[in-house]
Structure 1
C-alpha cells in the first residue's frame, strides 16, 4: 500500500473537520444568537469532541469567522496570480470584480452572518484581526508591483489597507441597502473612489 497519498487524505480530512465546525458555528449562531451558543454545542453539532474543536479554533468567534478568513485568502491568492506587470490598483480591482462574479448573489446565510458580525464586538474584533493579517500579505504583493520607490513601505501598506476598507465599507452599505441592490455596484464605486484618493 502506497503512503504517498496519506498526507493528502489527512489534510483533506482536517479541512473537512474545520469546515464542518465553521458551518456548525454559523448555523447555531444565526439560529440561537452568538451569546447563547457554546464551544461544546458547536462541537456536538459537528460530531466531534471539545478537544477536537480546540485543535482547530481558539474560540467560537474564530470558528464563526473562518469563512471570512477563507475568502480573504482566496482573494490574496488571486492577486498573486495576476500578471506581474499589472499596476497594483488595477490588479486589486480586477480581482475584486472576478471575486464578485464567482460569489454571484450572496446567500441568505451569508447576509445573516454579516449582520450578526456587526452586532457583536467580539466578532468585529475577530474580523479586524483577520483583515489585519491579510493586509500585511497584500501589501507585500502590492510592493512587488510598484514602479516608484517605497523604502518604508508606506505606499504599499496604504494601498492594501485602502482596498480592504473599500470592500468592507461596500459590504456594510450593501447590508443596509434596499433589496435588489447589487453588491458589486457599491463595491465598484467604493473602489473607484478609493483609487482616485490613492492617485
Structure 2
C-alpha cells in the first residue's frame, strides 16, 4: 500500500480532559458490548459473546469534542473462531497443512475503527470504515497496524471519502459525519 502521511500543519491534536476520555471510554465499551450481545454491526459471528474483552485503544476528538474517532481492540478465545465441531487435533492438522493460522488454544486480537457523534449527553457510534485488522496474537501488532492503516495509508486510497488520514484536522469536516443513529 502507498504511504501518504498527514502534513504537519494539518495534524489534529485535540486533547480531551482525563474525565471526558474516561467517561467516553466507558460509554464506548458499553455500546460495543451491546452490539456484541445483539450480534449486530460487525459482531454477527458467534465468536463474539459475553467473554469478548473490549479495549479502547485510542480516542481522537474534533475541536468541539462532539465528533470522535476511536480504535477498539477485541480479545477473543481462539477456539471460538472455529466451528464447535472442530477439536484441537483438527485445528492442529489444519494449521500443519497451511489451512488455518490461529491455534486452537489461547487468544487473538482484532482491531476496528469507529466514528462517533455526541449529541447532548449521548454518544452515537458507527463502524463507518468497515476495516478490520484481524488475527493477531500480540496486541501491539494490532495497534501498529491500525495506525499504519489510518494515519499513513488511508488518504492514499483514490476514492471519494479517503482524502484525509484520520489524524488530519480536515477529516473532521468531511462528509462522513451524517449517519443513522
TM over 0.5: no
Instruction: Return the index of the structure with the highest Cα Rg.
Output: 1
Q: Which has the higher contact order (CA 8 A, sep 6+)?
A: 2
Give the TM-score normalised by structure 1: 0.28
Per residue, is there more helix in 1 or in 2?
1
Per residue, is there more strand in 1 or in 2?
2
Give the TM-score normalised by structure 2: 0.30
